[in-house]
Structure formats: structure tokens, C-alpha cells
Amino acid sequence: MILERNSAMSASEMKQRLSDLDEKDRPKLDIDEITEFVNLMQTYEGAMYEISTKLDVLDTEFQVRFSHNPIHHMERRLKSVDSLIGKLHRKNLPVTIPSVRDHIFDVAGVRVICNYRDDVYSVSRYLSDQSDIQVLRVKDYIRNPKMNGYRSLHVIYAVPVFLTSGPHYTPVEVQFRTIAMDYWASLEHQLRYKSDLPDARLAEHSQTLLDCARSLQNIEVQMQSIHRDISGSPQEQDS
């Protein structure tokens, strides 16, 4: 199952979105640049589809061979124009097409929610080993969780998207995580945007969330162990 968060815009929708922005945030793009930007977003969309199709194929193969679906569901999204501009501002980069192309690697994003931790490592490894795509960057917050308790495996892939002009290697950020990691990250994300809470309450909730992250990790290890014992799926030796 793939949940769509949003998809590429037509040139006219893009022009409308840009003209809706505040004067100070509005990039000074002429019509050719807007068209180029829309084309660029369509390339990112193509890359996102390619990655999710590859993952779907792997999931189906696992089902056929091992009677087990490693992927519970996927989510995919293209970054909105507003958050793209916000990110360029935060990184002190000019709002231009080369800035996006050279510095922003999560314009196309796929989140892969797996049933077990072994599934995270096997699915990501089978994808990373495919000969037509490149691994640009790996951040393993499962082996090295963030201070706040956040866990996920982030991989940035470069995928060839074949356009009339030839192949364009395009980055896609893939976040692999288990259901428990996703459940935790959703609440932590909500808390992060709750800026109206008093500091003491925020600190208390953050501490509780850290405890929850540890408890969920223990539960996952135990459930993984039962699943390993009863399933015929290949086991990841190093996870």
C-alpha cells in the first residue's frame, strides 16, 4: 500500500502557488525558469515512482518466496514549494534551480514502514545492491539513535530518470523504519510543533518520549526474536 502525500504540479499550478507567496519569499523567476522548475519537479516525481516500484517488486517477491511481506506500507511525497523555499532560506542558499539541484536531497521522499527491524535491513540492502542506482549517503539512526530517541535508517539514492534528453540521476531520500519507530516519530513530530506548551511540560514529555523509545526498542527485539523463530524469511546477520 502506498500513501500519496502530494504529487507534481503543472506549470499553471506552480505559477499560482508562487504568486500566492508573500512578496519577500517569492523567488524572482521568469516563465522559462518556472517551466524548468516544473520539469525538475517532474524528474523528482519520476525518481520517487521508480524507487517505490522497486520496493513494491521486492515486497511482492518476498511474499511469493517466503510468505512474508517485509513492507507494511509506504508513503511518498514531493516537497512543497513553500517548504523548499523555507529550507533554502534556512541553509542561506539563493532560491534558484541550481541551489535545489545541488544542495537539497529530499525533494523526493519515500518512507518505507516495515514490520520488523530485520525487514528494514534486508529491504534496504536489496535496494542498495541494485546495479542501476547509487547510494549517495546513509545515516543509520537505528544503530546510532538520535539523542531524543529518534530511530530510522535514512538512505539517499541517485536514480536514473530517462527523459527525452537522456538519463538524469536524481536523488530520493528514503526513510526505512519499523511500525514502532514510525508510531514514535509521529508523536515526537507533533510535540516538536507544539510550541505553545510551557518549557517544563515540553521537557517532561521529551523525557517520557525518550523512555518510550527505549521500551519500544525492547519490545521490538522480543517480537523480532519470535518472528525469526517461526518464519522462513532470510535473517540479517548484522542487525
For residues 11 and 38, the answer to whether their CB atoms sit within 8 Å is: yes
Q: How many chain residues bind ligand GTP (CB under 6 A)? A: 10
The window from 7-15, 101-109, 120-128, 205-213 that contacts Mg ion (CB under 5 A) reads 101-109
Helix (H) or strand (E) holding 87: helix 81-90
For residues 71 and 59, the answer to whether their CB atoms sit within 8 Å is: yes
Q: Does 172 bind Mg ion (CB under 5 A)?
A: no
| Of 108, 171, 100, 167, nearest in space to 134 by CA | 171
Q: Does 157 bind Mg ion (CB under 5 A)?
A: no
Beta-strand pair 166-178/134-140: unpaired
> How far is 163 from 99, CA to CA, in rounded Å?
21
**Residue 146 near which of ligand GTP, Mg ion, none (CB within 5-8 Å, type-dependent):** ligand GTP
Which CB, 106 or 220, lies closer to Mg ion? 106
> How far is 130 from 109, CA to CA, in rounded Å?
19
Q: Does 148 bind ligand GTP (CB under 6 A)?
A: yes
Q: Does 150 bind ligand GTP (CB under 6 A)?
A: yes
Contacts of 106 (CB under 8 A, 6+ apart): 79, 156, 171, 173
Among 50, 59, 106, 182, the residue binding Mg ion under the rule CB under 5 A is: 106
> How far is 86 from 145, CA to CA, in rounded Å?
26
State the minimum distance, in angstroms, from the CB of residue 159 to Mg ion: 17
State the minimum distance, in angstroms, from the CB of residue 190 to ligand GTP: 9
State the minimum distance, in angstroms, from the CB of residue 233 to Mg ion: 30
Which CB, 17 or 146, lies closer to ligand GTP? 146
Task: Give me the residue whose beta carbon is nearest to ligand GTP.
Answer: 150
C-alpha distances in Å from residue 49, one per residue of 10, 157, 174: 17, 13, 12
Per CB under 6 A, residues contacting ligand GTP are 106, 139, 146, 148, 150, 154, 175, 185, 188-189
